[in-house]
Amino acid sequence: MVGSVNADLIAYHGAEASVAGYVTGDRFEMAAGGKSLNAAMSIAAVDPTVTLVARVGSDDLGNFIIGALHKRGVTTEGIIRDERTHTGVGHVRVDRQGEYDTVVVPGANGNFSPLDIDGYVQAHDPPAFVVLNLEVPLPTVKRAATRFRELGSTVVLNLSPVCAEARSLLRLADVVVLNLREACHVLDVPLNTDVLVLLTALREAGAKTPVLTLGGGGVAALHGNEFVQVNVEPTVVVNSVGAGDSFLGTMVAAMANGHPFPLCLRAANEAGRLVCSKPESFLTTADVRQIEDAIGFSLANTSVGQ
């Protein structure tokens, strides 16, 4: 896992803003977050061999992040302590429907550089899978995708948060994951565009295996010549902050364990649904057991569902 980590400062609120813009919150939490950390934590709940390559500040928030990762079994030897700035911070507000908005102050994430990728590659064997997102500088994302693919890693790119250059990144990954709104932005098409049309256009634009998350509508993908669509059961949403990251982490963990791609998407769908029903933005081992009960096979056991 290569990318971003934040200390998330989460305020839960239910009232509309007053004329003065003042809202009283119901409760507050500080949590380890950031798209890469959330996905790494969810992978670690299935497979304890995950490594996170990122930057944090040399501050208390950095210590908090490192401690949270150690507790979950994520290897941190790829994390660089940045003396020049603070650990990234996500200022998150969650409403009573579980929907959220975030102000992200990148901090050390903004200093994560292509040289950091080169340094890691020189000192370590390439992993089987590398997972990237756009929450760190684009030159770093491009260097990571290029270098690790050259070394034989399967590169999975979450095209989020979407940006003006996102379309040019589609060819850099083996699997590209994005949501409906992001896909329509990248392709410059209306939001009501047919899902299969979107996936075909993403494939034509360079995405080898495009995966389109549809929220309550589940997920759809083009895998080789196969159109795959998996529905999801409805759930009561408590906090949707880590839904996409947990989806991504579970999909990659299932792929790494050799499951057929449609089953990987089925497991990922269940993970995204489950994490919406809890305050944490990533999965625990107990959550994985619940997911496995729901999907009917072990994520770590490739003999089931082949």
Question: What mean pLDDT do residues 42-61 have?
Answer: 94
Label each residue of 232-252 as H, E or C: CCCCCCCCCCCHHHHHHHHHH
* pLDDT score of 125 more than 90: yes
pLDDT top residue among 114 and 96: 114
Give residue 179's pLDDT.
95
92 and 100 in contact (C-beta within 8 Å)?
Answer: yes
Query: Of 20-29, 56-65, 265-274, which gets the smallest average pLDDT?
Result: 20-29
Q: Is the dihedral of CA 274, 252, 286, 282 positive or negative?
A: negative
pLDDT of residue 254: 96
Q: Cα separations (Å) of 126 from 109, 112, 152, 154?
A: 22, 19, 8, 10
Look at 22 and 38; give whichever has higher pLDDT.
38
Quick one: pLDDT at residue 305?
Answer: 38
Pairing between β-strand 6-13 and β-strand 25-33 as defined by DSSP bridges: antiparallel
pLDDT tens-digit profile of 191-243? 999 999 999 999 999 999 999 999 888 999 999 999 999 998 877 777 677 78
pLDDT given for residue 239 in this prediction: 67
Q: Across all residues in the chain, what is the average pLDDT?
A: 91
* Residue where the block lists tokens 């939001």: 191
- Enumerate the β-bridge partners of residue 54: 79
User: Other C-beta atoms within 10 Å of 306: how many?
Assistant: 10
Burial of 303 by CB count in 10 Å (0-12 exposed, 13-18 middle, 19+ buried)? exposed
Q: Which range among 17-21, 81-85, 141-145, 157-161 shows the weakest confidence by mean pLDDT? A: 17-21
Taking 70 as the threshold, does the pLDDT of residue 70 lie above it? yes
- What band does 16 get if pLDDT is binned at 50, 70 and 90? low
Which of 17-31, 61-75, 166-180 is least confident? 17-31
Helix (H, G, I), strand (E, B) or coil at 57: strand
| Higher local confidence (pLDDT), 305 or 3 | 3
- Minimum mean pLDDT range among 7-21, 85-99, 249-263: 7-21
* Residue 66, H or E segment: helix 60-72
Residue of 93, 118, 202 lying closest to 157 (CA atoms) = 202
pLDDT band at 275 (very low <50, low <70, confident <90, very high): confident
pLDDT of residue 15: 65
